[in-house]
């Protein structure tokens, strides 16, 4: 087999990050009777598909291919609702029936822990599916670009395209200088689509410049919309490269006239050369500069740059799993690592004696303190800590009591080995590990397992329907 070969394949499995798996017989050596299977990963396919695929990468034990033709579609397929499906790269599994999306995610988590992680003898609880599979996000971030992604229809028309130099939408996967214009995204709300389309039309008509990361010039960078699920709060955050009072004033007036339900408008001034959406400072132009949302009965203030779980309704289910795993009796000292704006500590606060949070982002610490005041919480203390280094010096400097339980919710890259060593030194009776990446979670748990911690059970929670992302909660005991 070589690059460029075309081959008919039956897809029989599903790999992490959404690639179908086909297996073909590999020729055994002449002196062997062993039959070995050669694995081919085929993008954008599902079990049950029969496809004509073209090989684009060949390795010793596997190959990768893309679909040229679907000869016979899987019974698990459905028709995607979004007009941008297959182009924007967001909802990569929207053409897969949701029940099967959840089933495949569940199987992938189990496979990662048992086969890749080498972990066994633990309870595996079935995935908690999302009640809402559309309009479930409380935040969407759009990008401006001076190169619009052209559709196949536009390219084949052979006609002059006048608006190819202005786009507001999502980056094309692997094409970071091009953005597809999004008219309607089915993941947030209809009102967010109205804000998106008004903003594009407003700035396009005024021929406002778009920031280029190549020449480091231009004004418009990002549009971020945040919306509360439990209150009527709605934030528009426009990220730009510099202050412009005339634009700020006119855009605010026109936007509010068009969409009066907006409760706050913020302009983030981002002077960085890289394509990040967090500003160096912000100007609150209308309203109070934040929204309020709830998880359970707890309220949280969400500012323009603060992190909050993107699926509010599923976040409560995720935290409830963590709470059930911990089985608090009320006298525990708890450490919460990567504590962010304090959502988990505040959610569990009435069930424990004292919580100490460790977080590396100063603005998140500020948000956590404000959220404590909002909820009248007095048993949570957040500390600024670089969790890529040892945090035990902070524990010792502040003479903090040792934890009975540690809750950890790291980024996708998982925990730093120094953080894992600190947990082992602190010797808690229980560890509740929440992760958005089961692969790095299993890697970290294997290290903890080798140091005397047993994996008791895991519970996947689907926070992001139509994507490959999956949250997973694990309980370890000494």
Burial class (CB in 10 A: 0-12, 13-18, 19+), 115: exposed
Task: Look at residue 18 in the predicted model and tell me its pLDDT.
Answer: 75
Site of tokens 């609702």: 81
For residues 196 and 223, what is the distance between their CA atoms, to the nearest angstrom?
8
Q: Are 425 and 464 in contact (CB under 8 A)?
A: no
Closest CA to 307 of 261, 339, 334: 339
Domain covering 103-133+311-477: architecture: 3-Layer(aba) Sandwich (3.40)
- Contacts of residue 36, defined as CB under 8 A and 6 or more positions apart, other chains included, come to 25, 26, 28
Q: How far apart are the C-alpha atoms of 409 and 360, rounded to whole Å?
A: 13
Residue 96 has φ and ψ, to the nearest 5°, of -115, 130
Rounded to a whole number of angstroms, the distance between the first and last alpha carbons of the chain is 49
pLDDT computed for residue 17 by the predictor = 72
Average pLDDT per consecutive 10 residues, the chain (478 residues; last block may be shorter): 93 85 74 69 94 94 94 96 87 94 94 90 97 95 87 65 83 79 93 97 95 90 95 96 96 97 96 83 94 93 87 95 97 96 95 96 89 96 95 96 97 95 97 96 96 97 94 97
DSSP-assigned states of every residue in 429-466: SEEEEEES-HHHHHHHHHHHHHTT-EEEEEEEE--STT
Of the residues 88, 91, 185, 436, only one is catalytic, namely: 436
pLDDT of residue 29: 55
Q: Count CB neighbours of 317 within 10 A.
A: 19
CA–CA gap between residue 36 and residue 22 (Å, rounded): 13
Residue 134: the pLDDT is: 96
Q: Which CATH number fits domain 139-295: 2.40.50.1070, 2.60.40.1180, 3.40.430.10, 3.30.2350.10?
A: 2.40.50.1070
What integer pLDDT is reported at residue 37 of this predicted model?
Answer: 82
Q: How many Å apart are CA 117 and CA 446, to the nearest integer?
A: 7
Structural class in CATH, domain 6-77: mainly beta
> What would the 3-class secondary structure string for 9-51 be?
EECCEEECCCEEEEEEEECCCCCCCCCEEEEEEEECCCCCCEE
Compute the residue count for the chain: 478
Give start-end residues of each CATH 2.40.50.1070 domain in the chain. 139-295
Active site residue 88: no
**Where in the chain is CATH 3.40.50.150?**
103-133+311-477
Residue 160: per-residue pLDDT? 66
């Amino acid at each position: 087999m070589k690059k460029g070969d075309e081959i008919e394949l039956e897809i029989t499995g599903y790999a992490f990050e959404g690639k179908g798996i086909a297996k073909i017989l590999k020729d055994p050596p002449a002196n062997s009777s062993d039959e070995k299977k050669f694995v081919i990963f085929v993008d954008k396919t599902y079990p049950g598909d029969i496809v004509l695929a073209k090989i684009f990468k060949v390795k010793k034990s596997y190959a990768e291919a893309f679909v040229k033709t679907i000869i016979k579609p899987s019974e698990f397929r459905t028709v995607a609702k979004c007009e941008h499906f297959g182009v924007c790269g967001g909802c990569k599994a929207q053409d897969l029936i949701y029940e099967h999306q959840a089933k495949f995610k569940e199987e992938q988590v189990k496979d990662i822990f048992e086969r890749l992680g080498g972990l066994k003898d633990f309870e595996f609880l079935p995935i908690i599916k999302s009640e809402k599979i559309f309009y479930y996000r409380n935040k969407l971030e759009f990008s401006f670009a001076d190169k619009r992604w052209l559709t196949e229809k536009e390219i084949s028309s052979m006609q002059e395209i006048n608006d190819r130099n202005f786009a507001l939408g999502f980056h094309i996967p692997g094409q970071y200088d091009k953005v597809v214009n999004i008219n309607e995204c089915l993941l947030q709300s209809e009102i967010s689509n109205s804000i998106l389309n008004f903003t594009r039309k407003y700035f396009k008509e005024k021929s406002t410049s778009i920031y280029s990361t190549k020449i480091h010039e231009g004004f418009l960078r990002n549009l971020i919309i945040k919306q509360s699920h439990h209150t009527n709060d709605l934030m528009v955050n426009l990220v730009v490269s510099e202050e412009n009072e005339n634009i700020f004033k006119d855009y605010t007036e026109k936007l509010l006239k068009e969409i009066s339900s907006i409760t706050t408008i913020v302009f983030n001034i981002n002077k960085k050369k890289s394509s990040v959406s967090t500003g160096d400072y912000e100007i609150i132009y209308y309203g109070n500069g934040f929204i309020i949302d709830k998880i359970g009965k707890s309220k949280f203030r969400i500012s323009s740059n603060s992190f909050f779980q993107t699926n509010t309704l599923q976040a409560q289910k995720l935290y409830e799993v963590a709470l059930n795993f911990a089985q608090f009796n009320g006298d525990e000292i708890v450490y919460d690592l990567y504590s962010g704006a304090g959502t988990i500590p505040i959610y569990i606060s009435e069930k424990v004696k004292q919580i100490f949070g460790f977080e590396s982002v100063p603005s998140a610490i500020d948000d956590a303190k404000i959220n404590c005041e909002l909820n009248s919480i007095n048993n949570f203390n957040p500390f600024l800590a670089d969790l890529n280094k040892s945090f035990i010096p902070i524990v010792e400097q502040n003479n903090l009591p040792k934890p009975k339980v540690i809750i950890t919710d790291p980024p996708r890259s998982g925990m730093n080995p120094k953080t894992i060593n600190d947990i082992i030194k602190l010797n808690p009776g229980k560890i509740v590990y929440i992760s958005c990446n089961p692969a790095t979670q299993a890697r970290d748990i294997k290290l903890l397992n080798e140091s005397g911690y047993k994996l008791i059970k895991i519970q996947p929670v689907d926070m992001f329907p139509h994507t490959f992302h999956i949250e997973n909660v694990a309980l370890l005991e000494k």
